[in-house]
Amino acid sequence: MISSTASSILRRAVTRLPAPTIGAVRNLNLHEYQSAKIMSDGGVNVPFGIAAHSVAEAIAAAKEIGDEEVVIKSQILAGGRGLGTFKSENGSGDGLQGGVHIIQTSEVESYASRMLGHTLVTKQSGPEGKPVNTLLLAKKMSLAREFYFAIMMDRASGGPLIIACSEGGTSIEDLAESSPEKIIKVAVDPVDGLTDAQAEEVVVGLTASGDKEAAKDQIKALYKVFVDRDCTMVEVNPLAEDYDGNLIAADAKIGFDDNAEFRQADVFAQRDPSQEDSREVAAGKWDLNYIGLDGDIGCMVNGAGLAMSTMDIISLNGGKPANFLDVGGSATTDQVKAAFEIITSDPAVKAILVNIFGGIMKCDVIAAGIIEASKELDLKVPVIVRLEGTNVDIGKKLLEDSGLSLITADDLDDAAVKAVAAIQ
């Protein structure tokens, strides 16, 4: 998953392509302090910092840093922290403005108390915000200039794309909108890797004023982290330059490909489920693809394309889908039951539409899962079922003999019409 900032820049800075097929992708994202450690281990210059999970740890961290001033940073998986606003878990917080502050060391206890355990709302977090369970206490740096730097996978070039800008900080989205010509784009061949000439192109484009060879080494180190750690994104905003001309990754954000979990076990052990949708976390445990939406008709479908079509037809008939849920092509009865549990955990769901086209997925397995879930979960919402494909007759017979009040449909349009009618 790329950040909203990087995604925005990529959309504006490169030629638009036809929209790819959309499916649920659970790519790991780490906190700044975790990303900074990985970068540091890879030879990237990062500010000295200490993570704190309690007020006492924050005070101790500031003491270890030993300066009169310290930077205190909220650790959430969303951008725009500096301009965010705090609220408490019950919504009655004191409304502390900003998730990043430069403060006196004597103020650490006060700020940490107002930040830890509270929810930070930013432009990228959504109105519900993200819980702050960790703070990063960092050494205040004397920075002369701020740049923007990111690496991500690019469909147009078929490999990694470096995106950089000589102006960084919180206004990068606005800059990409108003002055796209200032954005540097360097496509890297995934086989040849980052060449010396490409690293120099980035350094020149950033207008780095220090030792050019040292700056090139930092760009190469960032790219090496991207490759060696199976990243989907490495974003540094700002990539700063101190008064000695050294490049420093002043803020770090890294995303990882979940397909690489088997060889990046130490990285994936750092996953923070408190920052993710609990339903998506539950779906991941059952190897289901789930994305929560804001409608009231829950959807359980096999196949991303069919799931998208199902949501479209619900919308065309005046309804609003509550989720994207793909059970895949080989779901078991237990997975189907888990899917129902996840869907019904959303209090907004007033009806569930099951749309299965059985190829590899067998309709009788889905039917058995529906029956078991309906009985064990004591479903209170109407369930509309459309089955077609492998073992469809067996599946329909199981549903008919179940004695449950299920609403069957002949085709997808009929199912959508019945689902919308069921909640009116």
Active-site positions read: 148, 235
CA-to-CA dists, residue 360 to 302, 303, 328, 368, angstroms = 10, 11, 9, 16
**DSSP code string of 357-385:** EESSS-HHHHHHHHHHHHHHHT--S-EEE
Q: What kind and span of H or E run contains 420?
A: helix 412-422
Q: What is the CA radius of gyration of the chain?
A: 25
Mutual orientation of helices 32-41 and 212-228 as an angle, nearest 10°?
Answer: 110
Distance, in Å, from the CA atom of 245 to the CA atom of 380, rounded to the nearest integer, reads: 65
User: What's the N-to-C CA distance of the chain in angstroms?
Assistant: 37
Pairing of strands 49-52, 119-121: unpaired
CA-to-CA dists, residue 60 to 50, 51, 55, 57, 97, angstroms = 9, 10, 9, 5, 24
Distance, in Å, from the CA atom of 93 to the CA atom of 89, rounded to the nearest integer, reads: 8
160 cis-preceded (ω within 30 degrees of 0): no
Distance, in Å, from the CA atom of 293 to the CA atom of 231, rounded to the nearest integer, reads: 27
Distance, in Å, from the CA atom of 97 to the CA atom of 116, rounded to the nearest integer, reads: 14
CA-to-CA dists, residue 322 to 300, 325, 342, 343, 346, angstroms = 10, 10, 11, 8, 8
- 213 CB neighbour count, 10 Å cutoff: 11
CA 119 vs. chain centroid, Å, equals 17
CA-to-CA dists, residue 45 to 124, 170, 248, 256, angstroms = 27, 21, 5, 21
Within 230-329, strands assigned E span 231-242, 247-249, 252-256, 289-292, 297-301, 323-326
